[in-house]
Structure 1
């Protein structure tokens, strides 16, 4: 019998047998199991299985962390043993019925924004590279000065860095239509209408409010370049409207009438009601976020750095995607990224301390790779596999995150993009701020590692937990 098959058998038994498994799917690192009764899961037994790096129940799924590559093979063995296979899409449909209304809403919010993040990551990296290549010190190495850079080169970099935000409503509306059951192509066109060149440009209006058009003497009509919430709401309402219309028009006229009526009604609503109302809401959220980030004496970093990973384990951290996108759009920089990078580095350092201090070979094999994963920006193996299991390392990680976040906030550290942190995140700080970025992460990691090593973990704690 192969090792992976033995692991699959042990896992099925620990979960409560095949009869307790509704369906099984997997992502890049985790086996995702829909169970019929979570009370039948033997958590301790699952965690003791070889190659398991952590396991937790969240949003209707029992998720077992195996890591890249391994999870594919374990999934195959579990299916071969008779468990029912499902796609991630089918499991998402089942998940929608799980959790309270707030959890479902945040999960849906994440479903809309997560597919957009890769292009925003790329845009942030382009911004960082442009900043690096136009620095006077860097140019001097090649015997150049800022005035030697051609306008055509600057135009090329502008295409790379500005396009995603200029057409952001199209991306958001496309994704919202996709998630809420509409036709994504209608979503794209609706989003493009919101940034039509025929409308006053949002950034120009921000500098000169007199450029806004005014309908009926009181409704301001502008383009929504870089805006998120109006496009999200328009996408949600538009998808529902399209489905409603499609059910009521004759099939022979569906191709003509459904997109025509959907776009006509939705652009009217978007420009005259949804846009003005939710643009104001968006501005209020942004003002509150900016006020928090601008709190004096590093207080904002202390709060966000200390609490961010608690929010991550609740699964509602996708709401931050919206805030980071708005920060980049409004400020052309992202101070939130620097702070949460410290929170992530601290959890990795806490897991590293456990791995170096323990004499247990199995715990070392779990903690050390998990800490490296956190330093690459993925904390789930470290949090669920190590730190939360013994609790104190997790708390020490929170303290380290607060310390690093405090420093990052104190020096005004901000990245050029989002969604990459710690080691990969250095690409967002390619300039004079790179020293402060590295120092902030070292402070976070150093505090978390030292506190965990000295006070946060002993093998006696492990023995008590395992007994």
Structure 2
């Protein structure tokens, strides 16, 4: 039954994105089905958003359909199979359902969706700068690693709990091996993905980066010091693979085709490998050390202030596309300390959005369309999927987005304060937030205190986002226009449609 549901979702999506012949690439991340499209004009946005399984859409370098964690990983292979089988149009799915009737005042929700789409398009245009395009490529390297980070992180947390309780002592070493194996070789995977992203041969990128985790590097001396396996971590692997791509491309242009299969791989691995051993490992190791120390000092000395700024500014960073620079930083912290202390603080931004959405629901009792949108987007928001709330509710309204960020700031300040007081609250993986982050929490005082601090931080974020939005999120004009009650039928007049306030 579940398999049929995911198959039906994929079948409903396919014709609404222009059919199989309009799809050039299919991929997915934690929550989104990412599609490359030949002709964007063929996409039926409103009908797509009306599908029960679709939480929203995001237009970036690819067309991204938000399906939520778990669901997207099951729908994607079904969708890929349909695209491959369709060929010249065979197997096309029937048209998807029409947009549902949203009640007596549908115009407000439709106007919010239109404004959200315009804001997404504006953001996409502004994010097409060389720096942000580069950061997007860096994100493309690390995003495919997130499922493994999550799985291994949860297993590591379970193993730590069993060790602390002195349960199953014969099993815990095996769990430790399963949880640690991926992290021990993460440099290889980063190298593989880096080469693929920058146009090289993926396996050569992995081979070049593998030197970083090879035990024999302990016998190599660079800059007067002995190297240690793993030194430089993911940053070194990224640099090593990128250098390997440069060497490979240079060889492809100059080496005769008759000997290319022998010369190019050899020169690529040799040159990039030696450069990694006698330069990149040392430099990347120094950068990784400084990064870890800086993150520790940031929250241990200025925890409340730093948490306030990080929690409050994270969503604007997302809007600017700069949040992608944090992905390798999180991975570096996890590789060094076992968890990243930044992610739980940044996750408070989502809590502020949830609190703001609840306040919007309470402040607009007559706007059936907006309240319907909030109801449908709220539970994904609790689970850390924030796009439906951001683009469907708070951002198009303007002021509520700012007050939602205020809620995130207070939640971040709360978690940061406990870091400052000596209770580290970290995550063993990147990707989830909200309630979905609970299984991945780790810290220096055991799971009980760590979970309690994070849960209290979410509560602070919810409360602060609610209060800030309830009391400061609307002008009188906005309330008048958004919450106009329908005229009684006995008057014979048409019920006034909900409208979106033009001023914020």
* TM-score with structure 1 setting the length: 0.75
Equivalent in the alignment of 2:316:
310
| 1:400 matched residue in structure 2 | 407
Matching of residues 280-295 of structure 1 within 5 Å: 280-295=286-301
**The residue matched to 1:415 in structure 2 has which SS?**
strand
How far is 1:46 from its partner? 6.7
Deviation at 1:99, TM superposition (A): 1.3
Report how far residue 373 of structure 1 moved: 1.4
Q: What residue is the counterpart of 2:440 in the other structure?
A: 428
Q: Distance in 1 between matches of 2:389 and 2:414?
A: 24
Match of 1:170 among 185, 188, 209: 188
Q: 1:378 aligns with which of 376, 385, 388?
A: 385
Is there any run of 5+ residues in structure 1 with no aligned partner, and where? 1-6, 13-17, 80-94, 140-145, 201-211
Distance in 1, Cα, partners of 2:125 & 2:200 = 17
Structure 1 residue 24: deviation in Å? 8.5
Partners of 2:134 and 2:338 lie apart in 1 by 28
5 Å-filtered alignment, 1:78-89, equals none
| 1:389 match | 396
Matches of 2:500 and 2:216 in 1, distance apart?
65
Instruction: Give 1:159's aligned residue.
Output: 177
2:215 aligned residue (186, 197, 207): 197
Cα deviation code 1:163-192 (max 9, x no counterpart): 222212111111101111112112222222
* 2:425 counterpart of 1:414: yes
Counterparts of 2:481 and 2:57 in 1: how far apart (Å)? Answer: 19
* Residue aligning to 1:90: none
Alignment: residue pair count: 410
245-254 or 47-56, which deviates more: 47-56
Match of 1:100 among 129, 145, 149: 129
- CA displacement at 1:451 relative to structure 2: 2.4
Name the structure 2 match of 1:460: 480
Contact 2:348 2:461 survives alignment (8 Å): yes
State which of 463, 467, 478 in structure 2 corresponds to 1:446. 463
Give, in angstroms, the shift of residue 422 of structure 1: 1.3
Residues 313-371 of structure 1 show CA distances to partners (whole Å, capped at 9, x for unaligned) of 22221211111112222222322121122111221221233234432232222222222
RMSD: 3.9
Q: Given the superposition, is the C-alpha separation of residues 388 and 64 from structure 1 closer, same or farther in structure 2, using an over 3 Å criterion?
A: farther
CA distance in 1, matches of 2:267, 2:408: 51
Deviates more, 1:116-125 or 1:354-363: 354-363
Q: Does 1:131 align with 2:160?
A: yes
- TM (norm. structure 2) is 0.70
